[in-house]
C-alpha cells in the first residue's frame, strides 16, 4: 500500500491542502485546463492555449511556436457549500471542517515539442473532482429518529489525467491531433443513510446481499454508515487506474478565423477498490462496525464533444467560443457500491443518480498590449443533476461561471499566466427518498485561482 501511495504521488503531484472544503467544478469536471483556457471561460478548442490544449483538443499543439516548452502550474480552489435541513432549519457547512479534503493546490506539469508539422506533448493535469466536509455533529450525522451517531459526513473525488498527445499539420488549412490518456481516480466517502433510506432502496430492489437480513434482524435499526477514506493529500479510500483519449482537428477558415472540433471518449476506469467499514446503527445494540473491502463499480467520466471557433480582430483582440455536449446520461446512472465484510458477508447498493446530458457554452476574449495579455470569459451550462437524486455529500450543481486573467511575457522564453474563476451560487432542493431522509436544500459557489509558468527553448 505504501508503494501504491508513492507511485500515485509521483504521477499526480503533491496535493497541498489549502483550506477547509474541496470544491466542485462544472459537475465533476474543471471549467478549463491551464490559466489561458480558464480565464477565457473554458474555451479551448480552436486557438492556442499552450500545453493544456492536449486536455481539450490535441490539434491545438500545432498552433504553438516551434521548439520545446515546459509548463508548470497549479490551481487553488475555495468552495462555499452548505446543506439545510428544510424540516428543522439546521445547516451543515462544508467550510468548517477539513481532513485533507478541502480547498487545495492541484499541480499541472507538461512538456511539449514542435518540429515542423509535427507536435508532441506529455503532461499530468487534474481533470476534475468533487468534495465536501460536513464534520460529525450535524444533522447529516443523525440517524432515523434523531439518533446522534458522531459519524462523519464527507466526500472527495479526484480524477487525474496523464495525456500522451500528438498533432500534425496536414497542410496550411488542416491540423489533426489525438491523445491517449492514462487516468487515475480516487474516492473518499463518509456517508450515513437512515433506516428509511435503506428501506426505500430495499423496496425498489436496489439493495441485496447477505448483510441485508442481518440489518433487518437488529432490535431497533436506525441506519447504516459507509466509511472509506484516507487522510492523505492524494491517496484515497478506494481508487483505480484506467485509460481514455481524444481526437481533434483545426480548420483554418481564413488567416484570422479558426474552427475546431474535438471528441473526448468516455473513460474506461476499473472498479475503484479499497478498505472500508460498514457500521450498522441501532438504538439498542449501539454501533456495530464491520471492516471489509469496498468496491465502487463502473464509475466513469463521460464522453464530450466540443465545437469551437476563434477569431483574431486586428493585432490586439482575440475572440473565442466553445459549444460542448457532455454525455453524462451514459456515464452516471447509479453509484454502484459493493461491500464485502472480512467475515464473508456482503451487501450491494445502487444509489440512483440519473444525470442528464449537459450542454455548455464558453465565451472568451483576450486583449494584447505590450508584454501583457488580458483575458475574460463566461460559461453557461445546463443542469446535469436531477433534484430528486441530489446527495448532500455530492452537491455538484454550479453551472454559471465568470473568469478573468492575464499573461505577462517576462522574456522571449519565459511567461506567466494567471486566471481567476467564480462560480455563481446555485441552489437545489431534494425531498425524496432514497437519497435523503428530510427535505434538503443545497447551496454552492466557489472561487478558483490558477497560476502557471512557461519556459520555451
241-265, pLDDT tens digit by residue? 999 999 999 999 999 999 999 999 9
pLDDT at residue 20 above 90? no
CATH architecture of the region 14-456? Beta Barrel (2.40)
The H-or-E segment that residue 82 falls in is strand 67-85
What would the grid cell of residue 1 be? 500500500
- Which residues make Cβ contacts (< 8 Å) with residue 7, sequence separation at least 6? none
Confidence (pLDDT) at 98: 59
Q: What is the pLDDT of residue 80?
A: 87
Comparison of pLDDT for 330 and 234, the residue scoring more: 330
pLDDT, tens digit (0-9, with 9 covering 90-100), for 88-141: 999 999 865 655 455 566 789 999 999 999 999 999 998 888 788 899 999 999
Q: Which pLDDT does position 11 carry in this prediction? A: 37
Nearest to 61 by CA among 164, 161, 160: 164
pLDDT at 40: 98
pLDDT above 60 for 424: yes
Percent of the chain with pLDDT over 70: 92
Give the pLDDT confidence score for residue 54 in this predicted structure: 97
Encode 254-283: b = buried (16+ Cβ within 10 Å), e = exposed.
eeeebbbbbebeebebbebbbebbbbbbbb
Give the mean pLDDT of 31-39.
95
Q: Where are the domains of the chain?
A: 14-456
Tens-place pLDDT, residues 287-314: 999 999 999 999 999 999 999 999 999 9
Amino acid at each position: 500500500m505504501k508503494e501504491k501511495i508513492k507511485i500515485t504521488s509521483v504521477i499526480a503531484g503533491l496535493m497541498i491542502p489549502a483550506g477547509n472544503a474541496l470544491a466542485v467544478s462544472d459537475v465533476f469536471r474543471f471549467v478549463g485546463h491551464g490559466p489561458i483556457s480558464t480565464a477565457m471561460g473554458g474555451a479551448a478548442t480552436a486557438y492556442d492555449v499552450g500545453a493544456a490544449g492536449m486536455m481539450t483538443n490535441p490539434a491545438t499543439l500545432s498552433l504553438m511556436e516551434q521548439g520545446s516548452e515546459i509548463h508548470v502550474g497549479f490551481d487553488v480552489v475555495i468552495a462555499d457549500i452548505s446543506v439545510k435541513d428544510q424540516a428543522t432549519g439546521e445547516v451543515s457547512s462544508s467550510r468548517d471542517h477539513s481532513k485533507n479534503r478541502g480547498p487545495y493546490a492541484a499541480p499541472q506539469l507538461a512538456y511539449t515539442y514542435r518540429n515542423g508539422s509535427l507536435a508532441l506533448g506529455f503532461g499530468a493535469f487534474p481533470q476534475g473532482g468533487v468534495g465536501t466536509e460536513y464534520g460529525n455533529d450535524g444533522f447529516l450525522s443523525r440517524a432515523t429518529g434523531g439518533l446522534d451517531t458522531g459519524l462523519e459526513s464527507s466526500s472527495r473525488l479526484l480524477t487525474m489525467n496523464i495525456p500522451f498527445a500528438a498533432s500534425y499539420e496536414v497542410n496550411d488549412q488542416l491540423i489533426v491531433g489525438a491523445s491517449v490518456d492514462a487516468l487515475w481516480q480516487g474516492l473518499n466517502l463518509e456517508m450515513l443513510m437512515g433506516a428509511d433510506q435503506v428501506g426505500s432502496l430495499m423496496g425498489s430492489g436496489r439493495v441485496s446481499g447477505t448483510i441485508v437480513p442481518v440489518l433487518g434482524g437488529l432490535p431497533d435499526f436506525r441506519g447504516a454508515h459507509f466509511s472509506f477514506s484516507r487522510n492523505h493529500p492524494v491517496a484515497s479510500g478506494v481508487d483505480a487506474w484506467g485509460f481514455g483519449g481524444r481526437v481533434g482537428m483545426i480548420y483554418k477558415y481564413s488567416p484570422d478565423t479558426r474552427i475546431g472540433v474535438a471528441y473526448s471518449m468516455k473513460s474506461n476506469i476499473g472498479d475503484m477498490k479499497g478498505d472500508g467499514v460498514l457500521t450498522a446503527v441501532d438504538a439498542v445494540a449501539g454501533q456495530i462496525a464491520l471492516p471489509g473491502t469496498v468496491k465502487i463499480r463502473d464509475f466513469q467520466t463521460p464522453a464530450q464533444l466540443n465545437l469551437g471557433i476563434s477569431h483574431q480582430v486586428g493585432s490586439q483582440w482575440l475572440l473565442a467560443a466553445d459549444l460542448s455536449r457532455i454525455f453524462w446520461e451514459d456515464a452516471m446512472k447509479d453509484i454502484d457500491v459493493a461491500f464485502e465484510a472480512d467475515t464473508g458477508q456482503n451487501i450491494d447498493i445502487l444509489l440512483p443518480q440519473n444525470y442528464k446530458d449537459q450542454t455548455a457554452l464558453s465565451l472568451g476574449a483576450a486583449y494584447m498590449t505590450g508584454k501583457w495579455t488580458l483575458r475574460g470569459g463566461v460559461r453557461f451550462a445546463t443542469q446535469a443533476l436531477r433534484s430528486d437524486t441530489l446527495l448532500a455529500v455530492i452537491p455538484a450543481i454550479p453551472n454559471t461561471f465568470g473568469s478573468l486573467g492575464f499573461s505577462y511575457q517576462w522574456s522571449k522564453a519565459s511567461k506567466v499566466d494567471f486566471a481567476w474563476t467564480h462560480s455563481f451560487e446555485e441552489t437545489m432542493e431534494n425531498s425524496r427518498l432514497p437519497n435523503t431522509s428530510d427535505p434538503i436544500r443545497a447551496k454552492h459557489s466557489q472561487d478558483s485561482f490558477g497560476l502557471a509558468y512557461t519556459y520555451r527553448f
